[in-house]
C-alpha cells in the first residue's frame, strides 16, 4: 500500500512507544532519527510497510533489543486465553460457525500499541470483548471465502499479532473441518507484537494446522524481497491466502498474489480507504485478483 501523510505521525508514535518500553531516556534520539528517516523515505509510491520496516530496524538497534514488545506479547496471549472459552462457546452455538470464528479472529486484531487507538493494552481487549462481538462484521465475504475453501487443497494463513493468534485457533479449526491443508505462517524474527514460533508455545496450534512456516527476515508484514522470491512464489501456488491484520495487507496489496482473504480491523483511514471500507469496522474481505477489487 502506498504510504500516506497520516502514516508519518502514526509511525513516530509507535517509535516513541517502543522506545519508552525499553529506555525512555533515548526517546528524543529515536524520535529525531525516525523523523529524519521518514523525511528521506517518504516519497510518492513508497510502500508503507517497507518504510516502517527500515525505521523499526534502526530504532531496535538504537534501543538495544530485538523484541521491545516481549512483555506485551506475553500479556496479550494470557488475556486472550482467558477470553478463549467465551469465544469458543459463541462459535459452537453459532448457526454459521465459520463466520463466527472469523469474527473472533478479527476482534483479536484490535490490539495495537502506540498508534493512538483506544485498544492500547491487552486488558482493554478483555473489557471490550463483548461489545466488539456485538458489532459483528462490518464487511463480510465469509460465504465467498467458504466457497473457495471448499474447493481448496492448500491454504496459507498469515498470522499477525500475539493475543490475536490465540483467537485465530477458532478460525483454523473451522478451516480444518472443511478438509483443506493449512500452513500457518508466523514471523521469522520478532517485529512489533507479531507472533513468532516462540510465541506459539503452549497454545496448542500445532495440533490444528498441518505445518508451521516462518516469514523470511525482519519485516513489517512481508518484505518486498520475500514477495518477489521463493516465499512469494509459494504464496502464489496456494489455493487461498488468508492474511491477518493491516501490515500484511499493506505489504500484499500491490502484488499479484490472489485470491487473498483479508481478516482485519480497519484501524486507520489509509488502510480503510485502500480497501474501500469504513474505518473502525471488523472486516472479512476477499480479493479474487491482485490488488483491491
Using only the alpha carbons of the chain, give its radius of gyration. 18
Of the residues 20, 42, 63, which one is the last residue of a structural domain?
Answer: 63
Q: Does pLDDT of 46 surpass 70?
A: yes
User: Quick check: is 125 in a domain?
Assistant: yes
Domain of residue 14: give its range.
Answer: 7-63
198 part of a folded domain:
yes
Residue among 109, 95, 76 nearest 281 (CA): 109
Q: Which of 47, 63, 79 is the last residue in one of the domains?
A: 63
Per residue in 137-160, pLDDT tens? 999 999 999 999 999 999 999 999
**pTM as predicted:** 0.95
Mean pLDDT of the chain: 94
Distance CA 178, CA 181 (A): 9
User: For residue range 216-257, what is the model confidence (pLDDT) as tens digits?
Assistant: 999 999 999 999 999 999 999 999 999 999 999 999 998 999
- Residue 293 is predicted with a pLDDT of 45
Q: Are residues 136 and 49 in the same domain?
A: no
DSSP string, 249-269: HHHHTTS---SEEEEEE--SH
What phi and psi, each to the nearest 5 degrees, are found at residue 33?
Answer: -65, -40
pLDDT digits (tens, 9 = 90+) for 48-72: 999 999 999 999 999 999 999 999 9
pLDDT at residue 97 tops 70: yes
Element (H, E) at 28: helix 27-41
- Long-range contacts, stretch 88-92, CB < 8 angstroms, 24+ apart: 88/170, 90/133, 91/170, 91/174
Q: Do 119 and 134 sit in the same domain of this protein? A: yes
Q: Are residues 24 and 76 in the same domain?
A: no
Q: Are 265 and 124 in a shared domain? A: yes
Tell me, yes or no, whether 22 and 134 share the same domain.
no
Grid cell in block for residue 146: 467458504
Asked if 65 and 19 count as a contact pair (C-beta separation under 8 A), the reply is: no
How many domains does the chain fold into?
2
My answer on whether 41 and 151 are in the same domain is no
CA pair distance 237, 245, nearest whole angstrom? 21
In a domain, 281, yes or no: yes
Residues 81 and 174 in one domain: yes
- Taking only the tens place, the pLDDT of each residue in 164-208 is 999 999 999 999 999 999 999 999 999 999 999 999 999 999 999
**Is 228 within 8 Å of 200 (Cβ atoms)?**
no
Q: Are residues 45 and 188 in the same domain?
A: no
Query: Are 203 and 129 in a shared domain?
Result: yes
- pLDDT value for 292: 52
Amino acid at each position: 500500500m502506498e504510504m500516506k501523510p497520516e502514516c508519518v505521525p502514526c509511525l513516530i508514535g509507535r517509535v516513541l512507544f517502543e522506545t519508552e518500553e525499553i529506555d525512555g531516556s533515548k526517546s528524543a534520539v529515536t524520535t529525531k532519527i525516525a523523523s529524519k528517516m521518514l523525511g528521506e523515505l517518504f516519497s510518492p509510491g513508497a510502500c508503507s510497510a517497507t518504510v516502517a520496516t527500515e525505521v523499526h530496524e534502526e530504532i531496535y538497534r538504537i534501543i538495544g533489543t530485538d523484541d521491545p514488545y516481549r512483555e506485551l506479547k506475553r500479556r496479550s496471549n494470557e488475556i486472550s486465553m482467558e477470553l478463549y472459552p467465551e469465544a469458543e462457546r459463541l462459535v459452537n452455538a453459532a448457526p454459521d460457525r465459520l463466520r463466527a470464528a472469523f469474527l473472533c479472529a478479527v476482534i483479536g486484531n484490535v490490539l495495537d500499541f502506540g498508534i493512538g487507538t483506544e485498544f492500547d493494552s491487552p486488558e482493554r481487549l478483555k473489557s471490550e470483548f463483548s461489545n466488539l462481538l456485538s458489532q459483528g462484521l462490518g464487511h463480510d465475504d465469509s460465504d465467498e471465502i467458504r466457497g473457495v475453501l471448499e474447493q481448496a487443497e492448500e491454504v496459507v494463513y498469515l498470522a499477525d499479532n500475539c493475543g490475536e493468534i490465540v483467537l485465530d485457533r477458532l478460525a483454523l479449526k473451522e478451516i480444518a473441518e472443511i478438509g483443506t491443508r493449512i500452513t500457518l505462517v508466523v514471523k521469522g524474527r520478532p517485529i512489533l507484537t507479531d507472533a513468532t514460533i516462540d510465541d506459539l508455545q503452549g497454545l496448542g496450534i500445532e495440533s490444528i494446522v498441518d505445518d508451521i512456516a516462518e516469514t523470511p527476515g525482519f519485516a513489517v508484514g512481508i518484505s518486498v524481497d520475500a514477495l518477489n522470491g521463493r516465499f512469494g512464489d509459494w504464496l502464489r501456488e496456494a489455493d487461498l491466502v488468508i492474511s491477518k491484520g493491516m501490515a500484511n495487507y499493506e505489504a500484499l496489496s500491490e502484488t499479484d498474489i490472489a485470491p487473498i482473504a483479508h481478516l482485519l480491523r480497519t484501524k486507520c483511514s489509509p488502510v480503510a480507504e485502500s480497501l474501500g471500507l469504513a474505518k473502525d469496522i471488523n472486516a472479512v474481505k476477499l480479493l479474487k485478483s491482485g490488488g483491491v477489487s
